Structure 1
Amino acid sequence: MSKYGPIISIEDDHDDQYLLKSVLEEMNIANPVYFFENGLEAFNFLEVTTEQPFLILCDINMPVMNGLELRQRIDENPYLKKKAIPFIFLSTSGSLPLIDEAYKSTIQGFYKKGSSFQDFKKQIELIVAYWEACLHPNTRL
């Protein structure tokens, strides 16, 4: 993990993409943000990039490849698994069966998106602050 690496957002809703971009700008986060509209696009990027992403924020319900399928593909890929990129689900869905299913894989968090801009911003602030402070196998000190 690189604290300065890109934030990967996998989100098919353009309004939610705009919301995340707005929150990160308001927080003065300097990391580049790469948006992907489905898990397959993100997976294809992650397989070839030499960058070490800071973290992945992933929706669950998306076309082509959903978030659960993406997490499974990352876990099965030795190159990506070794990168150990923090993977957080950030979704409008928050049912207990879905949360249980998500935690069967190696995720680092599951958040139901805040219902207001301020609630969503608080969630992102918590996530970013935690991972900025956290030591990690690929931390560049």
Structure 2
Amino acid sequence: MNKSGTIIIIEDDEDDRFVLEEAFNELGYSNKRIYFLDGLSALEYLYTTPERPFIIISDINLPQLNGLELRKKVQTDAELSLRCIPYVFFTTAINHQAVIDAYSTSAQGFFVKPGVFDELKETIKIMIEYWRKCAAPNNF
């Protein structure tokens, strides 16, 4: 985990991407952020970038390769799994089965997108600060 690395956000809704970027800007996080509209393009990026991203924040319902499928690929790929990139879901698709499915892929978090901007900012802050304080095998 590279705590100063890129934050990868996989979100296909343009309005949600705009609101997320506003929240990150207001919170003052200096990490570069890259947005992907689908899981497949995010996976291609992960395979080709030499960077070690800080965290992946993913919606579940995505075109081409949904968030759950992407998480499984990241988790089971030897090279990608060694990067120790935290993978959290940030979605409006909250139901019991979605939470079970997410944790069955060893996701490191499942957060529901709040409808109020200040609550969204607080949720992002909690996510980022938690992972900034965590130790990982590859950051010593």
- TMscore range, shorter length: over 0.9
Tell me which amino acid in the other structure corresponds to 2:65.
M
Equivalent-residue separation in structure 2 for 1:50 and 1:137 (angstroms): 18
> Cα distance, 1:110 vs. partner?
0.1
> Cα distance, 1:137 vs. partner?
1.3
Equivalent-residue separation in structure 1 for 2:102 and 2:17 (angstroms): 22
Equivalent-residue separation in structure 1 for 2:100 and 2:25 (angstroms): 32
Tell me which amino acid in the other structure corresponds to 2:123.
Q
Matches within 5 A, 1:1-141: 1-139=1-139
Q: Residue 98 of structure 1: SS of its match in structure 2?
A: helix
Q: Residue 104 of structure 2: SS of its match in structure 1?
A: coil
The alignment-based identity, stated in percent, is 38
Equivalent-residue separation in structure 2 for 1:110 and 1:119 (angstroms): 15
Cα deviation, 1:44-103, whole Å, max 9, x if unaligned, reads: 000111111110000000111100000011112111011110000000111001100111
* Structure 2 length-normalised TM: 0.97
> Cα distance, 1:106 vs. partner?
1.5
Number of aligned residue pairs: 140
> Cα distance, 1:118 vs. partner?
0.6
Q: Residue 103 of structure 1: SS of its match in structure 2?
A: helix
4+ residue runs over 6 A deviation: none
Unaligned residue ranges in structure 1 (runs of 5+)? none
**C-alpha RMSD of the superposition:** 0.8
